[in-house]
Structure 1
Amino acid sequence: MALALSVRTLPRGPGLAYEPKFDGHRMVVLRTVGAVSLQARSGRTVTAAFPDLVAAARALPAGTVLDGEVVVWHEGRTDFALVQRRAAATPARAAALARTLPASYAAFDVLALAGLDVRARPYEHRRALLVDLLTPLGPPLQPVPMTTDPELAEAWYETLPASGIEGLVVKRLDQPYPSGRRSWRKLRHTSVRDAAVIGYTGTARRPQALVLLLPGEDEETPLLSSPLPPALRADLTAALRTSPRPAAAPPGPPLTVTGLGETPYTPLDPPLTAEVRHTSTRHPPPEVLRLRTDL
């Protein structure tokens, strides 16, 4: 997969394209002659978790490969915790969740079309192919918006966060698809964002820290938050008491979590949502600002 390098200011200049960065899970859609396969950024197959997207992708020509983000809209904004809930669904639950929490696929590139590898072609050409391919199909498969106007891009950057858009991705129009390289540039609106709370350390009465999945990073690599202050511990205890949640899996061997090591934690299913401040997948760990009990 192509990757993006974080920048602090909006790149400007001729030959640049700007796309909104959605708050979702990175996903590749592969349409073969007889099937549809969905792959997460880690390479894990998540086809069974998204039967609604599989059904929509059957309309693609065989030999098509798309790169994009799967998102779930809730009350006018994308909700990363709900995307995580969809991605973690068992096959038995996936069909029901597809009805109650339908997914959308925001495609931002086409890697192959009707069996033809187009990765070496300029982004401008691939973008035209993507729009021509998906526009007649309509939702839930859609091309992300794109502009070459930096003023419009800056307006997106300032106004779209209310819809769950976390920033912009900037690409060169003449650029081939940069597999495995950080050749795109990514401007995040803020280091404060929502994260899926998939578990906690400590006990329900005395939680210590949250186990988080952050959008825009490796969505399948959990991160341990910094220790919770007393007020947030009380908020989490109250949330667990008023909204009983079954464990996502029975207790088993310790799970390896970045920053946590092989230490057990209590999983949450469905996840909660927390607002966190985080600038890097490395130290310091994410700081939890509040639980999003409004979602």
Structure 2
Amino acid sequence: MEFPVDVALAQLVPVLPAGPDWWYEVKLDGHRTIMWRTGDSVRLQARSGRDVTSAWMDIALAGMELPPGVVLDGEAVVVVDGRISFEAAQSRAASGPARARKLAEVHPALYIVWDALAVSSGDLRGRPYTERRQVLLDVLGELPPATPIQAVSATDDREVAQVWYATLRGTGVEGVVAKLGRSAYRAGRSSSWRKVRHAETVDVDVVGYTGQAAHPHALAVRMPEGRVVLSQRLGARLAVRAAAWAGASPASGRARTDAGEAYSAVASGLVAEVLAGTTRHAVVTIKRFR
């Protein structure tokens, strides 16, 4: 496997699927992170493929306890006052190395893992979920007791998953992911992985912006069905985060949305969560970035 890896994604569905081969995992509200244990270090990768090791150095250091060759997929989360805080994770992800270290001293991160993509003997992505899950548990079982690297809760009992969905919302759990036990790990969205969220939102890829890179007015986003549309005008908090992304991602030229609006196109990835009720219209409302 070569860095970065294309990640597997779940389809958003209204209800959990039922059947004898489905497994269910708690969906935590954090930052998607791939952990690579190389021969002499650990690298962390965001969903977009960007190297984010410096922002999550505390869990990278914990990853040094893993055997070389292990590649894991999971979520970097931060717990504040007993609750998983996406805002705290977002702040950490947007920080430089010095500030990230200070934030980690106050609120250390956890790395909640749901998949093993590789071990020292080779690539596991083509093997069934149930086999990869057992390998994951075996690998994590060798870590020290106080490690921040933990396996996500999983069950093959749909009733248990429904209880998780109904009762854990206030703790920073944003839903449940269902995976077929026989499914391989495939890049992109697959019907073999499905997720049910509490919030009515959709993940979209940001492909550009209007205005200046230092002061973007709105973002161009590609909807799940392929349409490119502009977001509503960004508020101050979102504009700051978007400016940091745009400044680190030089525009590749000018492009137009499906409706003909011009924007500065950017190749590198940023994922935004938008309100699902706005996606039927020409302009979407961005809730936050992932």
Alpha-carbon distance between aligned partners in 1 of 2:157 and 2:277, rounded to the nearest angstrom: 28
State the partner residue of 2:164: 156
Structure (1 or 2) with the greater strand fraction:
2
Contact kept in structure 1, 2:230 and 2:282, CA below 8 Å: no
Find out whether 1:187 has 2:193 as its counterpart. no
Alpha-carbon distance between aligned partners in 2 of 1:280 and 1:60, rounded to the nearest angstrom: 43
3-state SS of paired residue (2:199): coil
Q: Structure 1: 5+ residue runs without aligned partners?
A: 194-200, 203-208, 212-216, 218-222, 238-246, 264-274, 290-295
Q: 1:280 to 1:133 in 2, by over 3 A?
A: farther
Q: 1:283 to 1:139 in 2, by over 3 A?
A: farther
1:19 Cα deviation from its structure 2 partner: 0.4
State the partner residue of 1:35: 41
3-state SS of paired residue (2:168): helix
TM-score, normalising length: structure 1: 0.70
Alpha-carbon distance between aligned partners in 2 of 1:179 and 1:28, rounded to the nearest angstrom: 13
3-state SS of paired residue (1:10): coil
Matched residue type, 2:184: P
Matched residue type, 1:140: P
State the partner residue of 1:206: none
Question: Counterparts in 2 of 1:239-250, with a 5 A limit?
Answer: none
Alpha-carbon distance between aligned partners in 1 of 2:110 and 2:279, rounded to the nearest angstrom: 27
Alpha-carbon distance between aligned partners in 1 of 2:54 and 2:140, rounded to the nearest angstrom: 22
Could you give the per-residue CA deviations for residues 218-266 of structure 1, whole angstroms, max 9, x where no partner exists? xxxxx976469xxxx9xx89xxxxxxxxx979x999989x999459xxx
Instruction: Detail structure 1 runs of 4+ shifted over 4 Å in the superposition.
Output: 251-256, 279-289
Contact kept in structure 1, 2:278 and 2:285, CA below 8 Å: no
Name the % identity: 45
TM-score, normalising length: structure 2: 0.71
- Of 13-22 and 177-186, more deviation after overlay is shown by 177-186
State the partner residue of 1:14: 20
State the partner residue of 2:136: 130
Equivalent residue in structure 2 for 1:81, among 80, 87, 95: 87
Q: Structure 2: 5+ residue runs without aligned partners?
A: 1-6, 203-209, 212-216, 238-242, 266-272
Contact kept in structure 2, 1:64 and 1:115, CA below 8 Å: no
Equivalent residue in structure 1 for 2:57, among 51, 56, 70: 51
Alpha-carbon distance between aligned partners in 2 of 1:179 and 1:254, rounded to the nearest angstrom: 26
Count of aligned pairs: 252
Q: 1:134 to 1:252 in 2, by over 3 A?
A: closer
1:276 Cα deviation from its structure 2 partner: 7.8
Contact kept in structure 2, 1:278 and 1:285, CA below 8 Å: no
Q: CA RMSD in A?
A: 4.2
State the partner residue of 2:270: none
State the partner residue of 2:155: 147
Could you give the per-residue CA deviations for residues 164-200 of structure 1, whole angstroms, max 9, x where no partner exists? 111111111111212334231111123179xxxxxxx
Could you give the per-residue CA deviations for residues 1-31 of structure 1, whole angstroms, max 9, x where no partner exists? 1111111111001111000111111111000
Contact kept in structure 2, 1:77 and 1:163, CA below 8 Å: yes
3-state SS of paired residue (1:166): strand
Alpha-carbon distance between aligned partners in 1 of 2:135 and 2:116, rounded to the nearest angstrom: 7
3-state SS of paired residue (2:62): helix
1:76 Cα deviation from its structure 2 partner: 2.2
- Of 25-34 and 184-193, more deviation after overlay is shown by 184-193
Contact kept in structure 1, 2:83 and 2:171, CA below 8 Å: yes
Contact kept in structure 2, 1:67 and 1:110, CA below 8 Å: yes
Alpha-carbon distance between aligned partners in 1 of 2:250 and 2:277, rounded to the nearest angstrom: 27
